[in-house]
Each structure stands twice: as C-alpha cells, then as structure tokens.
Amino acid sequence: GAGVSQSPSNKVTEKGKDVELRCDPISGHTALYWYRQRLGQGLEFLIYFQGNSAPDKSGLPSDRFSAERTGESVSTLTIQRTQQEDSAVYLCASSRQGGEWDTQYFGPGTRLTVL
C-alpha cells in the first residue's frame, strides 16, 4: 500500500508570508505526528494527533504554528508570518494506534525555505 505522502516537496516563501504543508498518512493509521529537522539538527517533535483525542501541541515552537487533522485522514501544518528560522524540512509520520511500541512511518518531508 501507499506510504505517507507530503506536499509540496519543496516550498520557497518570503519572510512574513503564511504557508500550508500537507500530509496524507497511511490509510487506517489513527496516529499522526509532525516533526521538523533544521540544518545539522535532529528531528524535533511538533504535534501529535491520536484519533479524536485533543492533540498534543507541546512541541509547537510558537503561536505562529498550528495544525489540523480531519478525522483520521489528511493533516495540514500552517505557519503564519514565516521567519527565516522556520526554514527546515517538515516531516510527517503516522502509526497504527499511536502507542509507544507502534512504528512511526515517515513521509519524504517538505523542505521549506524562508527568504
């Protein structure tokens, strides 16, 4: 079956603009995660959705970042008034049930460049 897909694969934007990144998880996976990887760094957790539970937003770096998920399908990560430090690869992952032992499957990422 299809893996996690993300769009766009690359996004170049100007400082101050808003951007929307999309993630299509593996069908049937109830858990969805967003991470980002800045240059030379490891992946940083941003937000986690599990079924109908309230999302865990503890990793969002500022109130300019928000994410939504419709049911158990598509998620969008929105960054408002982008800053240069937002430049990173944004990775989405999904897992079957979201438990600690569940393997997280990652998409290819969206490379965001803020000029």
Partner 1 sequence: DQQVKQNSPSLSVQEGRISILNCDYTNSMFDYFLWYKKYPAEGPTFLISISSIKDKNEDGRFTVFLNKSAKHLSLHIVPSQPGDSAVYFCAASTGANSKLTFGKGITLSVRP
Contact positions vs partner 1 (CB under 8 A): 4, 31, 33, 35, 40-45, 48, 56, 58-59, 91, 93, 95, 98-109
Taking the least distance from each CB to partner 1, the nearer of 59 and 76 is 59
How would you class 2 by CB atoms within 10 Å of its CB: exposed for 0-12, middle for 13-18, buried for 19 or more? exposed
Distance CA 3, CA 26 (A): 5
CB of 27 to partner 1, least distance (A): 17
Where do we find the tokens 């957790």?
Answer: 45
CB of 55 to partner 1, least distance (A): 11
CB of 1 to partner 1, least distance (A): 15
Taking the least distance from each CB to partner 1, the nearer of 33 and 114 is 33
Taking the least distance from each CB to partner 1, the nearer of 48 and 86 is 48
Distance CA 55, CA 70 (A): 12
Taking the least distance from each CB to partner 1, the nearer of 36 and 86 is 36
CB of 96 to partner 1, least distance (A): 11
Across-strand partners of 40?
none
Q: How far is CA 110 from CA 45, 64, 75, 87, 89, in A?
A: 15, 18, 13, 10, 5
